[in-house]
Amino acid sequence: MSKEQDQIFFRNFSLALGVIAVMMVVFFVVAQFAASDDEAEAKMRSVKVAEVTKPVGQVTAVGEEVEVAEEEAAAVSEVASGDVGKTIYDGLCVNCHGIPAMAAMIPQTGDATAWSTRVEQGNEVLYDHAINGFVGEMGMMPARGSNPKLTDDEVKAAVDYMVGQVDAASAGASTEAAAAPTADAGKTVYEGLCVNCHGVAALASMIPQTGDATAWAARIEKGNDTLYDHAINGFVGDLGMMPGKGGNMKLSDDEVKAAVDYMVQQVK
């Protein structure tokens, strides 16, 4: 066999191997498609069989039907009740309307003073601001609290819940106002709340510490009414800020005043 014949042989042999390799790849791809089609068909067949053979009813033991009925009734009741508003509030609204540090910009839940002018505008206005968003003088309300998945009814339910908390707080404040605070009320409020800022020496450069006559002198000169106003409604000064009612909107005005009186007494 000549050299030229050898070259022709090897060329033909290589071409044959290439054709075989290509055919193997084609067969493999075809087999894969066939297998996937069979698998999909089998799944569809299983679904159809399950649908045709599923039971038309379910046997419930004596006594269980009562529990099932009660669970269904509870579910319906929860949806129909005001719990929807509370659920939306606890899961979203509380992140802004439940942060006392934001009281200067955002009306906090239960703060009758902050909500009074808003409530006077009527529910339709509150609904519109909550659903479509609103930009005011102190801040802004993002549409649907930045959750576009909420329905109009869910947003309205959350608004109703917050307005309801204002009514409840007002009723509670009226009841508390009927009874004058005791002599120890100021000390009690101070030790349970105010001490967390006015009793921390490390904060002395920003917050007047209880008993520090120098820090309190200029403040006391302004008079008790000014001190009461700052403590109840909040105040932003050159060095720091005082959140309304120390961040606890459940305190009555008289309780806050008693706490102020107690701190002033510690200076004198």
DSSP class of residue 235 equals: E
Within its chain, how far is the Cα of 56 from the centroid?
Answer: 43
pLDDT value, residue 127: 95
**Element housing 141 (H / E):** strand 140-141
Q: Which CATH superfamily is domain 78-178 in?
A: Cytochrome c-like domain (1.10.760.10)
Considering only 10-24, 73-87, 169-183, which range has the smallest mean pLDDT? 169-183
pLDDT value, residue 80: 41
Within its chain, how far is the Cα of 203 from the centroid?
Answer: 30
Which pLDDT tens digit goes with each residue over 166-222? 877 666 555 554 444 555 888 888 888 888 888 888 877 878 898 888 888 888 898
CA distance 194 to 245: 9
3-state DSSP assignment of residue 134: strand
pLDDT over 60 at 65, yes or no = no
Are 78-178 and 185-267 the same fold in CATH?
yes
Amino acid at residue number 64:
E
pLDDT value, residue 50: 54
Average pLDDT, the chain: 76
Centre a 10 Å sphere on the Cβ of residue 256 and count the other Cβ atoms it contains: 25
CATH 1.10.760.10 fits 185-267, yes or no: yes
pLDDT value, residue 180: 47
Which pLDDT tens digit goes with each residue over 132-156? 998 877 678 899 989 999 999 999 9
Centre a 10 Å sphere on the Cβ of residue 54 and count the other Cβ atoms it contains: 7
Contacts of 266 (CB under 8 A, 6+ apart): 210, 211
CA distance 150 to 137: 26
Domain residue extents for the chain: 78-178, 185-267
**Contact of 258 with 224, CB cutoff 8 Å:** no
Question: Which residues, in sequence order, are bridge partners of residue 124?
Answer: none
pLDDT value, residue 193: 84
